[in-house]
């Protein structure tokens, strides 16, 4: 079998959009839900470009809102495939907002989406291997490997943790909760 490999750079994609008043929430900042919609769109475009297939969102692994985005700012999202499995890819996305008047740029969001490639019948499709061309590509790939391991550990912990044990119930005293069942 002749396996295909592609560079991280071959997946690079960016989109820019001016933030309008219709994108804002009640406090006048850009609504997080609107940003999430844009993140999903660029994750789809990035994964589809890299894999050559239609892709679906399997999970939104991390969404860190770091700074608010203001109406009138130019938002640029930059995405790349950071990790590949057999049919899945982790897409990293960086969101920056530029004040058009001052040219000041701020980092507003970092996100990671797991996308799965699908063939024309809707079945999982194999994705190309990933060529890591520099230390930044390697760092991002290994960070994804660590995140996957942490996610598996968390899932395993949730499967075996007894939420009804006396120990679990007693541990709640340090929290601002009250049991009434």
| Domain map (residue ranges) of the chain | 5-133
CATH ID of 5-133, from 3.20.20.370, 1.10.760.10, 3.30.1360.30, 3.10.129.10:
3.10.129.10
Beta strand 129-131 with 5-7: parallel, antiparallel or unpaired?
parallel
Tens of pLDDT, residue by residue over 24-67, are: 999 999 999 999 999 999 999 999 999 999 999 999 999 999 99
Beta strand 54-65 with 13-18: parallel, antiparallel or unpaired?
unpaired
Q: Which two tokens stand for residue 157?
A: 């912990």
**pTM higher than 0.85 for the full model?**
yes
pLDDT band at 79 (very low <50, low <70, confident <90, very high): very high
State what percent of residues in the chain have pLDDT above 90: 83
């Amino acid at each position: 079998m002749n396996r295909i490999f592609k560079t991280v750079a071959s997946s690079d994609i960016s989109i820019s959009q001016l933030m309008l008043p219709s994108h804002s929430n009640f406090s006048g900042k850009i609504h997080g839900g609107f940003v999430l919609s844009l993140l999903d769109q660029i994750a789809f475009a990035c994964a589809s470009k890299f894999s050559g297939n239609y892709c679906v969102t399997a999970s939104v692994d991390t969404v860190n809102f770091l700074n608010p985005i203001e109406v009138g700012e130019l938002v640029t999202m930059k995405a790349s495939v950071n990790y590949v499995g057999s049919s899945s890819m982790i897409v990293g996305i960086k969101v920056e907002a530029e004040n058009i008047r001052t040219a000041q740029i701020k980092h507003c969001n970092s996100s990671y989406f797991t996308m799965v490639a699908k063939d024309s019948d809707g079945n999982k499709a194999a994705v190309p291997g990933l060529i890591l061309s520099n230390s930044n590509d390697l760092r991002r790939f290994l960070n994804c490997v660590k995140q996957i391991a942490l996610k598996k550990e968390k899932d395993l912990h949730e499967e075996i943790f007894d939420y009804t044990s006396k120990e679990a119930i007693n541990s709640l005293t340090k929290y601002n909760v009250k049991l009434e069942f």
